Amino acid sequence: MDKHGSLGDDDKGLGKLTMKESYSKTKLPSKHVRGYIDLLRPFTLLAPFIVSMSIIVASLVYSNVAVPSDWWVTVGNASLTLALVNAASNILNQATDWKGDRISKPYRPIPRGIIKPDEAQSLAYILYLFALLRAVTVNVWFGFFVFLIMIFTVTYSLPPRMKQYLFLNQVWIAIPRGFLGILAGWSVFGDPLQREPLIIGTIAMLFFIGGMSTKDIVDSEADKTTGIRTLINTFGVKKAALISFPFMFFPFVFIPALINMGFLESYLWPLTLLAFLSCFIFYLMAKGDTESKTLENIHAWSIMYVEYIFFALGFAFLTIFAGILNLPTLL
């Protein structure tokens, strides 16, 4: 196994199971098809799929609308569409950043020569178009938010290439993945301009502004070489962790205050507990978290995505079962 966790050519085992393993281990499907699969970065697609599904179902219950007989089809269609947009952005980012990936992520399919950059970029455009066509079949609001998400993700990687600008690069990811993603999911059955999705989306956005620092630690030298400024390669890991921590911590801590002011339902107070997980992410960053041997980044990055999933699942669970749980009030 090399420093990036890639296993040698002689270790065939069960075939290529993770992104970092050698393509020589590929049995079925072919190396080229497996390269396409790796371009999608399947682990990162779990969050938008699970989160959007949770938010959509929560909006259906919260909005108290008539439940259509095929509601589950609509939920699956909309959730898959948001995951496809995320997949397209993953591919476009790799197609435009392959020079940096040769330094920090040489195990990816483009640096390894399995997929060509222009081939990957074409695939990204196809997925974007397919996702947009699917989105407009759900409803106008959903199609609108998906289009906005696409604008943010495309301009992150292509001119004006917001990825290269300090701090703006984190905001540019946080808006579509946090705020717009929540509003898109809510719009499937509910009113996206309601107070609840706007506040929950803002919490998610603020969390991502801080949490996205975790992804830049492994890419620090590559980003610096390719002219990309991040909190990590500008201030160092520990200072970047201190700057990022308030964005990950205080949105959850302020939930009781938002409840007290009447902006959120009282049954949502358990979401405050996620602040402890934010503290753990900060701890991992500050102590010098190391890169995972199987996933693409440090452990704090993985936990950041897990926390976001917990946030959405927790919000959906509390919203759906609020009348049954009868949770004690916090204030």
Residue by residue, DSSP assigns 96-147 as HSHHHHHHH-TTSTTTTTSS-HHHHHHHHHHHHHHHHHHHHTT-HHHHHHHH
Residue 140 CA to residue 116 CA, distance in Å, equals 36
* Cα 276 from chain centre: 20
Res. 28: pLDDT tops 90: no
Please report, as a single letter, which amino acid is at residue 52. Answer: S
Residues ≥6 apart with Cβ < 8 Å to 240: 213, 216, 230, 231, 232, 234, 285
pLDDT tens digits for 183-218?
999 999 999 999 999 999 999 999 999 999 999 999
Which of the residue ranges 156-160, 275-279, 287-291 would you say has the lowest mean pLDDT? 287-291
Quote the CA–CA distance of 84 and 81 in Å, as a whole number: 5
Percent of the chain whose pLDDT exceeds 90: 80
Q: For the whole model, what pTM was predicted? A: 0.91
1 vs 133, residue with greater confidence: 133
The pLDDT, as a whole number, for residue 154 is 98
Q: H-type helices in 193-273, by residue range?
A: 195-211, 220-225, 231-235, 237-253, 255-260
- Alpha carbon distance, N-terminus to C-terminus of the chain: 53
- C-alpha 190/C-alpha 54 separation (Å) is 13
Give the mean pLDDT of 11-35.
Answer: 71
| Contact predicate 68/56, CB 8 Å | no
Number of Cβ within 10 Å of residue 159's Cβ equals 7
Q: What CA–CA distances, in Å, run from 286 to 84, 237, 239, 256? A: 33, 7, 8, 28
pLDDT computed for residue 14 by the predictor: 56
Q: What is the pLDDT of residue 53?
A: 97
Confidence of residue 3 (pLDDT cuts 50, 70, 90): very low
List domains and CATH numbers for the chain. Answer: 23-325 (1.10.600)
Specify the pLDDT at position 252.
98
pLDDT at 15: 63
